[in-house]
Structure 1
Amino acid sequence: MEHQQDAVLAAADSLVDAFGRHDRDRYFAAFAPEATFIFHNLDRRLGTRAEYEAEWVLWESRDGFRVRACRSSDRDVRIAGPIAIFTHSVETDLTFNGEPVTSAERETIVFEKQVTGEWLAIHEHLSPRP
C-alpha cells in the first residue's frame, strides 16, 4: 500500500509541477482522455480532457491566462483498488490580462491505475478554500 501511495504522490507531484510551469502538454498528458473536470469558476462540468484543453486555450487567448507557480500542501492519498483519491490545498500564482492573482483552493484529483502501472487522473474537482 505504501508503494502505491508513493506512486500516486509522484503522479500528483508531476501534474502539479507541470501546471505550475504552465507546461500545457505535460499537464494534460497526466489526464486520461475521458477525464472530467469541475471548477468553481465555470458554470458547467467539462466532460473530457479535450474540452478542458479547449477551455485552457480560450483562457490564454481571451484572458491572458498564465500559471506562474503552484504550491501543494495538506496532501492526502486514499487507495481503493485501482482508484486513488488525492486531496490537497493548492495555492496558485496566475496572471490574467497582465495582472498577478493568487488563488487559494482545495482540490480533489481521482487517479486510476492503468495496465501499464501508471496512475492517470480521471477526475479533478476544484473548490475555493474558505
Structure 2
Amino acid sequence: MSTITAPSATLTESQVHAAADRLLAAFAATDTAAYFSCFAPEADFVFHTEPRRLDDRAAYQRLWAAWVAEGWRVESCRSTDRRVRVHGDTAVLTHDVLTTTSTNGRTATTQERETIVFRLVDGNVLAVHEHLSARPSEGM
C-alpha cells in the first residue's frame, strides 16, 4: 500500500524576488527588526568574513548587534545578476552584491556573491540559509 502525500504549496519566482527585495531593503537601511523578520529562526549563515558558521538567526542577531554597537551601518546595497531556481516550496537565489558600509564614519565597499535559500513557511517566504562569498576580480 502506498502513501499519498498532499502536494506542498509551490513558490513562484515573483514571490522569491519580492522576499529578496524586502530583505535587501531592510539590510540597506540597517533596519534590524525588518531584516531579521525575513529569516526563519532556524536559518543558518556562512559568511567568508566570519571564522565559524552561525547556526541560527539568534547567533547572527548577536553578531549584528555587536557590529551596530561599534558604530557599524549599511550605507548602500545593490543586487545584480540575480538567478532564482524554484524547487517546490523552496527556492535558491544567487546574485552579486555590492555593499558599502561604514563604521564610525569610515566606509568600506565589498563585492560579494551570495546564495540565499528561501522556503515557504505558513504562507510566508522566509530565508532559511545565507552564504556569502568574496567575489573574485574580473579576469581571474
- Asked whether the two chains share a fold, i.e. TM above 0.5, the reply is yes
Instruction: Report whether the alignment pairs 1:42 with 2:50.
Output: yes
CA distance in 2, matches of 1:119, 1:61: 29
Q: 1:9 aligns with which of 13, 17, 28?
A: 17
Whichever residue aligns with residue 35 of structure 1, its letter is: A
Q: Secondary structure at the match of 1:78?
A: strand
Match of 1:86 in 2: 93
Instruction: Report whether the alignment pairs 1:23 with 2:31.
Output: yes
Structure 1: stretches of 5+ with no match in the other structure: none
Whichever residue aligns with residue 104 of structure 1, its letter is: Q
Whichever residue aligns with residue 134 of structure 2, its letter is: P
Q: CA deviation at 1:45?
A: 0.4
Structure 2: stretches of 5+ with no match in the other structure: 1-10
Q: CA deviation at 1:81?
A: 1.3
Match of 2:69 in 1: 61
Match of 1:112 in 2: 119
Q: Secondary structure at the match of 1:41?
A: coil
Question: What is the root-mean-square deviation of aligned Cα atoms in Å?
Answer: 1.0
Q: Larger % of helix: which?
A: 1
Whichever residue aligns with residue 37 of structure 1, its letter is: F
Residue-by-residue CA offset, 1:54-95 (whole Å, 9 max, x unaligned): 000111223x21111110000010011111000100001100
Match of 2:6 in 1: none
Whichever residue aligns with residue 120 of structure 1, its letter is: L
Q: How many residues align?
A: 126
Q: 2:132 aligns with which of 122, 126, 130?
A: 126
Q: CA deviation at 1:33?
A: 0.4
Superposition misfits of 4+ residues, deviation over 4 angstroms: none
CA distance in 2, matches of 1:119, 1:57: 24
